[in-house]
Amino acid sequence: MSEGKKTQKDMMEEQMKQFYSFVESMKKSMGLPMVPDMKTGQALWVDQREVTLKFIISIDKIKEFFNALADGKLLGTKCKKCGEVFFPPQKDCPKCMDSEVEWIELSKEGTLLTFTQINVKPYSFAHYDDYIVGIARLPEGVNVTAWIREKDPSKLKIGMKLKLEIVKREPENYYTYEWVPVE
Amino acid sequence: MGENVAIVGVGHTKFGVRNDVNMPELAWEAIKQALMDAGLEQKDIEYVVVSNAGGWSSEPLPAVVIAEYSGLAPKGTVRVEAACASGSAAVKLAHDIVASGHVDIAMAVGIEKMNESPTPTVVEFIGRAGNYFWEFHNFGLTFPGYYALYATAYMDKYGATEEDLCKVAVKSHYYGARNPKAQFQKEITVEKCMASRYIAWPLKLFDCSPITDGATAVIVANEKVAKELTDTPVWIAGIGHATGTSNLSKRTTFTSLEAGTLAAELAYKKAGIDMDDPTKVIDVAEVHDCFTIAEILAYEDLRFAKRGEGVKLVREEQTYIGGKIPVNLSGGLKAKGHPIGATGEGMIAELTNQLRNKVEKDRQAPIKNGYALAHNIGGTGHYAYITILSLSKPRR
């Protein structure tokens, strides 16, 4: 994140703040959260209830994956019967109909399959600068989606080699993984 | 198998920012049109399937809210979700309920009111429509971002350019300008598209479909009822469906949508259409061009072009009227608009009117064989539904 520069989130929030202060002034004069559409003048009611979505997700069957991240390792799973490797890791093999699935450490080398740069960001990512997302193939035959540590998409090339690093995502401060171009 | 099923009535509202109406008012516009088109009343409709993705709109039970407002209650209803393909899923279910003999007449209603939330919220919700935990939560992909991954791979493999993608947008706007129901009714140039800002590199603003409010409705009936109601029933000749992986990382290719390819094969098989060159039989198609790259992938997944040659159809303008196969004469998702849950019925309503020779003259396809195809993708090849319509009664 760049210091002192306005992020998309700052701009979104400024815009919403302006809008809601307009709603408040309308409420004060009319006693109703009723505003005209800026373009057409059509009457709009502004919701007086608000909900925040923040999910609590069960990860108990795959908690080894997250514990290993903290140790700098990327894990996948492998079915003991058919040998299929899973990433993201899963503890059930639907083909063999059972849970004889073991943890394996994955190599942190990848070949870039495709990539994009996210310029218009979702609200919950709007505090970051534009970021590049790529999908790369590991020698184990599974693919990993992650951010690529590069600012300029024209410097990347499909087929190039990448290495995976376990990093702390800031400012949220939690472990995740990131692709880094190999010089 | 089961009974033959025909479309006997369709409705399609003006797409766009529809702040003039709330959700049930908007749905009623389409339902009313469809009832009048079919010459039916609410009491004749025995079951209603409502497609709506939702999240960004206030009513969590849209099927019930709409059934009450439109006088369709107390008939049974359900809401279905197949992301951007929800509408085709609703038509499939309405079709199946009639084909099974369970009811004589059913209705599919598509509704989306995306402008009830500010744009950043909508971008957030659509970005989550893939695999939330593994792909969105950490890496913040957006809907344009998912398709941009395909664009990068396709351009790299086949030498397509950003200008080529813009040519798709130019065609969409050309026909959108001729469709009074389209959100965008102005033509654009390649230069204008090329000058627009990046949304998800290499996709720019004019490569992307907009945020849209809209409602659509399709009434289906069995053969006996259809023949009583109309001289030109539009038969559902075949439906194909398939599902892709939720994690894009689990895909084996980024130059085609596997679900779209599989659904096409299934639909052609059911409709008895020769897969070697379906353009010989199909007079007109609506394909899922949520982004320009998606239209090119669709040409190839549908076998309108060989792998890598979809972009040639664009360069040679083969998908305008008069070309190899006219595609998206409505303006497509790109210019007509993309109200997620209403898009599928919208494609099928448009093609019903194309087959009836009832659309605006300057965007009417010549109807020779009487076949039309709707290609509706949910998410980024997460869901795929392909519906083939025909003026001739399916052979059983």
CB-CB: which of B153, B199, B201 is closest to A153?
B201
ω into A88 cis (within 30 of 0): yes
Share of residues in chain B with pLDDT > 90 (%): 98
For B123, which residue in chain A has the nearest alpha carbon? Answer: A122
Query: Cβ of B123 and A115 within 8 Å?
Result: no
Residues ≥6 apart with Cβ < 8 Å to A130: A117, A118, A119, A121, A151
B19 CB within 8 Å of a chain A CB: yes
Cα–Cα distance measured from residue B61 to residue A54, given in angstroms and rounded to the nearest whole number:
22
Q: pLDDT band at residue B1, thresholds of 50, 70 and 90?
A: low
Residue A1 has pLDDT above 60, yes or no: no
Q: pLDDT band at residue A33, thresholds of 50, 70 and 90?
A: very high
Residue numbers in B near A123 (CB within 8 A) = 120-121, 123-124
Cα–Cα distance measured from residue A118 to residue A129, given in angstroms and rounded to the nearest whole number:
9
Q: Which two tokens stand for residue B214?
A: 């809209």
Residue A4 has pLDDT above 80, yes or no: no
Nearest residue to A159 via CA among A140, A178, A182, A176: A182
Query: Cβ of A47 and B58 within 8 Å?
Result: yes
For B124, which residue in chain A has the nearest alpha carbon? Answer: A122
Residue B396's pLDDT is what? Answer: 61
How many contacts does A have with B, using Cβ atoms within 8 A? 108
Q: What's the gap in Å between the CA of A15 and the closest CA on chain B?
A: 10
pLDDT digits (tens, 9 = 90+) for B106-156: 999 999 999 999 998 999 999 999 999 999 999 999 999 999 999 999 999
Catalytic residue of the set B12, B241, B338, B375: B338
Residue B100 has pLDDT above 60, yes or no: yes
Average pLDDT in chain A: 95
Query: Cβ of B254 and A113 within 8 Å?
Result: yes
Mind listing the domains of chain B with CATH numbers?
Answer: 5-118+211-229 (3.40.47.10)
Beta pairing partners, A177:
A166
CB-CB: which of A40, A122, A145 is closest to B19?
A40
B54 CB within 8 Å of a chain A CB: no
pLDDT digits (tens, 9 = 90+) for B252-289: 999 999 999 999 999 999 999 999 999 999 999 999 99
B338 is annotated as an active-site residue: yes
Residue numbers in B near A126 (CB within 8 A) = 120
Catalytic residue of the set B12, B84, B173, B288: B84
Q: pLDDT band at residue A98, thresholds of 50, 70 and 90?
A: confident
Element of type H or E holding B377: strand B371-378
Query: Cβ of A88 and B254 within 8 Å?
Result: no
Residues ≥6 apart with Cβ < 8 Å to B121: A123, B56
What DSSP designation does B393 have?
A: P
Residue B395's pLDDT is what? Answer: 76
Q: pLDDT band at residue B40, thresholds of 50, 70 and 90?
A: very high
Query: Cβ of B120 and A114 within 8 Å?
Result: no
Q: Provide the ipTM.
A: 0.95
Q: pLDDT band at residue A5, thresholds of 50, 70 and 90?
A: confident
Mutate to test the interface with B, among A116, A149, A160, A170 (most CBs of B within 10 A): A116
**Domain spanning A107-183, CATH architecture:** Beta Barrel (2.40)
Query: Cβ of B249 and A128 within 8 Å?
Result: no
Query: Cβ of A122 and B197 within 8 Å?
Result: no
Q: What are phi and psi of B225, to 5 degrees?
A: -65, -45
Q: pLDDT band at residue B41, thresholds of 50, 70 and 90?
A: very high
Question: Which residues of chain A form CATH 2.40.50.840?
Answer: 107-183
Environment class of residue B143 by beta-carbon count within 10 Å: exposed (0-12), middle (13-18) or buried (19+)? buried
Residues ≥6 apart with Cβ < 8 Å to B278: B268, B302, B303, B304, B373
Give the A-side interface with B, CB within 8 Å: 12, 16, 37, 39-40, 42, 44, 47, 57, 87-88, 113-126, 128, 131, 133, 135, 142-147, 153, 158, 169, 176
Query: Cβ of A88 and B153 within 8 Å?
Result: no
Residues ≥6 apart with Cβ < 8 Å to A63: none
Report, as an integer, the average pLDDT of A26-41.
95
DSSP state string for B223-260: HHHHHHH-SS-EEEEEEEEEE--SSGGG-S-SSS-HHH
Q: pLDDT band at residue A3, thresholds of 50, 70 and 90?
A: low
What end-to-end distance do the CA atoms of chain B give, in Å? 8
Report, as an integer, the average pLDDT of B371-380.
97
Candidate from A2-6, A53-57, B343-347 with smallest mean pLDDT: A2-6
pLDDT digits (tens, 9 = 90+) for B300-323: 999 999 999 999 999 999 999 999
Neighbours of A140 (CB within 10 A): 15
Residue B75's pLDDT is what? Answer: 97
Q: Which two tokens stand for residue A141?
A: 């035959």
Mutate to test the interface with B, among A142, A145, A151, A162 (most CBs of B within 10 A): A145
Report, as an integer, the average pLDDT of B193-222.
98
Residue B153's pLDDT is what? Answer: 98
Cα–Cα distance measured from residue B300 to residue B307, given in angstroms and rounded to the nearest whole number:
6
